[in-house]
Amino acid sequence: MAELLAILGLSAGYGRATVLSDVGFTLGEGEALAVLGRNGVGKTTLIDSIVGVTRRFAGSVTLAGREIGSLAPERRAALGIGWVPQERNIFRSLTVEENLTAVARPGPWTLARVFALFPRLEARRSNAGSALSGGEQQMLAIGRALATNPTLLLLDEPTEGLAPIIIEELLRALSRLFREERMAGIIVEQHAHKILPITDKAIVLDRGRLVLEASSASLLKDGAPLERYLGVGRV
């Protein structure tokens, strides 16, 4: 499996504050990574650092063999980074279809393919973003990121605040995306049991440092490491 993303010795934060310290890991093409940890340990900062909206104090971020740590966020997006932030940031005054086509880049993820992944969006293609439910807005945010045809998809707490039935629907779509379509992705999530079944491997952050890296399958089999760092056992 070819290496897609490599992070080495990354220390980063905001302003003068260092949030991440000496974080390093790699991600292969077609791999999905779960980023786990309690609140405030640096999970979102890690995503932000890959996107390019933090201050980097040390280390490197390499995408497909190219060091991108000094590039602006828009340059990183053009190189294949798709980002779904916690805030979703959809265009609320535009329709679903306009949200998807406004940012679209040429590639396999066409409007029809996004609608096939999220049938709810096709049914509401003429609705304004502001008229969608929270779950539908999350689907739209993911669909919009896919419409840019990224090589790496970053999702920050995609299930936060959603109803259980919508979470199940969203996780089925993400499972298809990662398991069948082999999209490379990094998913930040507090609840390990939601995301480990659809990812290949996981890392755990604690106080800004990487304290555990393991396959998702091994953590599903033995929850002791998660109990140690997250306070949860069986997943």
CA pair distance 139, 24, nearest whole angstrom: 30
The amino acid sitting at 71 is L
The distance of Cα 183 from the centroid of its chain, to the nearest Å, equals 11
What would the pLDDT profile of 122-168 be if each residue is shown by its tens digit? 999 999 999 999 999 999 999 999 999 999 999 999 999 999 999 99
Checking 175-183 for CB contacts under 8 A at 24+ apart, the result is 176/117, 177/117, 177/146, 177/153, 178/32, 182/29, 182/30, 183/30, 183/32, 183/153
Residue 190: band (very low, low, confident or very high) from pLDDT cuts 50, 70, 90: confident
**Using CA atoms, how far apart are residues 101 and 129, in angstroms rounded to an integer?**
13
- Residue 119 and residue 72: Cα distance in Å, rounded? 34
Second-level CATH architecture of 1-80+186-230: 3-Layer(aba) Sandwich (3.40)
| DSSP code at position 178 | I
pLDDT tens per residue, range 36-46: 999 999 999 99
pTM higher than 0.85, yes or no? yes
How do the domains of the chain map onto residue ranges? 1-80+186-230
Residue 59 pLDDT greater than 70, yes or no: yes
Looking at residue 87, its pLDDT comes to 92
**Per-chain mean pLDDT for the chain:** 95
